[in-house]
Amino acid sequence: MSKQNPSSLRLHTRLAADIGGTFTDVAAFDEKTGRMLLGKALSTPRNMVEGISTGVAKAGTTYAEASLFLHGSTVAINTMLERTGAKTALITTEGFRDVYEIGRINRPDAYNLFFKKHVPLVERALRFEIKERMTAEGEAYIPLDEASVHAVCDKLAKLDIEAVAILLLHCYRNPEHEQRVRAIVEKRLPKAFVSASHELSQEYREFERTSTVVANAFIGPRVSRYIAGINDHIRSSGFKGSFLVVQSTGGLYESHQAQVQCVRMLESGPAAGVIGARALCHEMGLGDAVAFDMGGTTAKAGVIYKGEVLTTGAALIGGYNQALPVQIAMVDVFEVGTGGGSIALVDESGALRVGPQSSGAEPGPACYGRGGQLPTVTDANLVLGRLGADRFLGGEMKLDVKAAEKAIYEHIAKPLGVDVIHAADGILRIATTAMSYAVKAVSTERGLDAAAFSLIAYGGAGPLHASAIAREIGQQTLIVPRAPGHFCAFGMLYSDLRYDYVKTWFTRLDDAPFAEIEKIYEGMISEGKAALASSGIKPTRVTIGYAVDMRYVGQEHPVTVDLSPTVFKRRDRESIKHHFDEVHQQRYGTCAPDERAEIVSLRATVTGVMKKPPLEKIARGSKAPPAGAHRGKRSVYFAELGKAVATPTFARDELRAGNRIDGPALIEEYASTTVLLPGDKLRVDEFGNLVIEVGKRSK
């Protein structure tokens, strides 16, 4: 277990590394000087740590200077989506091997004759039953038959199984049988990665719990080796601090925990970005915002509502139609397969499509000159003039305009019978529409008015498209933070140690025994505080969050209601019911104040709040940008004008607080370019953020 460094070591840097599908971003906060250091490198899929080390070097720091190393990665989610995980077996209660395949019979498109249901990560032949049965009250109805467990282990040993998932009926109420099965399997199969469901989720719903533990086992060997490899590398490079990994909640947990509960880091990178957006909102006095992150492979959106990040207790991984559920706490993020590296193609019907296939880091877009032949969103931006061929990554990486034009002509323009410019514009229009769905999915579909929210755009490609997305939705304010290409890594520096607990506990609200509820909460909170203490990291303070999952009597699905602990101490049933009605009204547009309600699950969050680096202010200037900020003009095509125009470009690092710029214009920086569309008005605030008043959408 990693421990915090003694002060005598005088380590003064916090390192954060975010590995994406195309780039690896590093942000480092030097506590000695108060400076933020940034580095960016191409991701190295064959050996991820190489990209991290290159980024650390580009940031001008070393592992040996760091007291904390914070990490987020797409390795877990990609292993699951690409189905490149371990050969996994499932052990379950006799009679329930097909629960995982039957699922919930979701049929979102009732009239689609080609609809395909979800495909389990474990085929039926590798799902095994054992004799045992717990009741819903946690009592042993059929004692565990250990002989049946050994018989299954005999079969698994012959099949070269790499990972084993264990799911027994109602073990969320009593994990005794699962604990014993785990002990037997670990002894019989010492090289296998073994995961038991009660260690990940203590909620009811057998299908969701099965899917969660299988996902953890499936990705476990690869993620565990990955985390261990990073740990070995950074420590051999002189790192002596604490290695923490970002969870899907945006909170941090220790690297040794990440090697066991791998599924908790599925959305670690996107979650960190939303945490960074929340920190920005607090500094700017914003209560409501949509955090929009567009990288090389995907675009993600999350919500800050009334100053807090919206979270969920479960998510569907892989799209609604064929998704597999994961029942863990996470930031409520919606993701679409549209990024800078998303490939554009004309399908068999003659329609233009963008994504979800991506060129990735290798070979990358055609314009990278690394062997890519297919047109991407980045190629379209280059052809339209939105990217400067000689200014990408601060001029470190030259882009090939002719290669981009050739790819778009051969694969898009020629098949559609249009010129290259209009083909490139079509690619961006389709990408914008697809990405606007992500923003709507986390706001409008949650009962929130997306148009009333500010849009915070980041990721290397986010500022290129954000104004068009804001217009599509009707948002009036767009904010591009400093160093948007490093923003997820930046967000990690604002994350806290966090432990989430949930226990299913059914009771009618009218009859709820508050003394028992308080005991359950006390148990979860004690467990969280013990986890904080064992980390060896001293937080500035510890906060506790309380919530309940509730529903109307007769309903199937609950909603999560955040509550103050005082409502339990006051035994205030009326206040709890009122809060529930409000949440139900917001989420579904209706509520039933006169109907009886029931509690389904109790939730507690224990957070070790860590010291945050201050946001640095920039020098003040006049309304006009300084002469040194001007970088000349470049021909850029704007669909809003129907033509290419000579567009002024500005160096963001040279801008000062108070500067104002009217669109069309381009604001260039090391890892990103912000596009001001015609009608947009920009001002630079005291922290160096670009605050844009979005122009009206052209009809």
CB 95 within 8 A of CB 129: yes
Query: Rounded distance, CA 236 to CA 611, Å?
Result: 27
- The reported pLDDT for the residue numbered 564 is 86
Burial class (CB in 10 A: 0-12, 13-18, 19+), 500: buried
Last residue of one domain, picked from the residues 193, 219, 245: 219
**Residues near 248 by Cβ (< 8 Å), separated by ≥ 6?**
264, 265, 266, 267, 268, 271, 315, 328, 329, 330, 331
CB 293 within 8 A of CB 458: yes
Query: Rounded distance, CA 652 to CA 661, Å?
Result: 12
Instruction: For residues 93 and 160, state if they share a domain.
Output: yes
Predicted TM-score (pTM) of this structure: 0.87
Query: Rounded distance, CA 493 to CA 474, Å?
Result: 32
- Per-residue model confidence as pLDDT tens digits over 394-418: 777 889 899 999 999 999 999 999 9
Last residue of one domain, picked from the residues 492, 510, 538: 492
Strands 643-651, 665-669: pairing is parallel
619 found inside a domain: no
What CATH number has the domain bearing residue 525? 3.30.1490
Q: What angle do CA 41, 45, 51 make, to 5 degrees?
A: 25
Instruction: For residues 507 and 571, state if they share a domain.
Output: yes
Instruction: Check residue 553 and report its DSSP letter.
Output: T
Q: How many helices (H) and strands (E) does the chain have?
A: 17, 35
Instruction: For residues 170 and 280, state if they share a domain.
Output: no
Interior/surface letters 128-147, b for 16+ CB within 10 angstroms, e for the rest: bbbbbbbeeeeeeeeebeee
622 found inside a domain: no
Instruction: For residues 476 and 511, state if they share a domain.
Output: no
* DSSP collapsed to 3 states, 267-336: CHHHHHHHHHHHHHHHHHCCCCEEEEEECCCCEEEEEEECCEECEECCEEECCCCCCEEECCCEECCEEE
What CATH number has the domain bearing residue 288? 3.30.420
688 found inside a domain: no
Number of domains present in the structure of the chain: 6
- The reported pLDDT for the residue numbered 7 is 37
What CATH number has the domain bearing residue 40? 3.30.420.40
Query: Rounded distance, CA 243 to CA 433, Å?
Result: 39
> Looking at this protein, which amino acid is placed at residue 146?
E
Instruction: For residues 354 and 280, state if they share a domain.
Output: no
> Looking at this protein, which amino acid is placed at residue 514?
F
Helix or strand or coil: residue 539?
coil
621 found inside a domain: no
Instruction: For residues 380 and 391, state if they share a domain.
Output: yes
Instruction: For residues 118 and 242, state if they share a domain.
Output: no
- The reported pLDDT for the residue numbered 75 is 85
Among candidate residues 642, 665, 682, 696, the one with its CA nearest the CA of residue 472: 696
What CATH number has the domain bearing residue 90? 3.40.50
- The reported pLDDT for the residue numbered 469 is 94
Q: CA torsion sign, 300 to 305 to 307 to 311?
A: negative
Query: Rounded distance, CA 633 to CA 65, Å?
Result: 42
C-alpha torsion angle, residues 616, 618, 623, 625 (rounded to 10): -120
646 found inside a domain: yes
- The reported pLDDT for the residue numbered 440 is 85
- Per-residue model confidence as pLDDT tens digits over 164-192: 999 999 999 999 999 999 999 999 999 99
Token couple for 321: 């139609």
- Per-residue model confidence as pLDDT tens digits over 71-106: 988 888 888 877 889 999 999 999 999 999 988 776
Which residues, in sequence order, are bridge partners of residue 352?
A: 346
Helix or strand or coil: residue 405?
helix
Compute CA distances 625 → 83, 636, 659, 664, 683, whole Å.
50, 21, 5, 15, 10
Instruction: For residues 591 and 657, state if they share a domain.
Output: no
Residues of the chain with pLDDT under 50: 1-9
**Residues near 264 by Cβ (< 8 Å), separated by ≥ 6?**
200, 247, 248, 249, 253, 257, 258, 328
Last residue of one domain, picked from the residues 219, 237, 255: 219
Instruction: For residues 111 and 175, state if they share a domain.
Output: yes
In this structure, what are the phi and psi dihedrals at residue 385, rounded to the nearest 5 degrees?
A: 90, 0
Instruction: For residues 122 and 209, state if they share a domain.
Output: yes
CB 126 within 8 A of CB 158: no
- The reported pLDDT for the residue numbered 8 is 34
593 found inside a domain: yes
Instruction: For residues 26 and 89, state if they share a domain.
Output: no
- Per-residue model confidence as pLDDT tens digits over 523-574: 999 999 999 988 878 889 999 999 999 999 999 889 999 988 888 778 889 9
Helix or strand or coil: residue 385?
coil
Token couple for 75: 């390795």
Among candidate residues 218, 112, 129, the one with its CA nearest the CA of residue 167: 129
- Residues of the domain holding 457: 268-338+436-492
Secondary structure element (H or E) that encloses residue 41, with its range: strand 35-42
Strands 630-638, 643-651: pairing is antiparallel
Query: Rounded distance, CA 465 to CA 664, Å?
Result: 13
317 found inside a domain: yes
- DSSP string for 471-484: HHHT--EEEE-SSG
Secondary structure element (H or E) that encloses residue 467, with its range: helix 462-473
Instruction: For residues 323 and 421, state if they share a domain.
Output: no
Query: Rounded distance, CA 425 to CA 379, Å?
Result: 11
Compute CA distances 563 → 199, 569, 591, whole Å.
25, 12, 18
Query: Rounded distance, CA 421 to CA 432, Å?
Result: 17
691 found inside a domain: no
Helix or strand or coil: residue 344?
strand
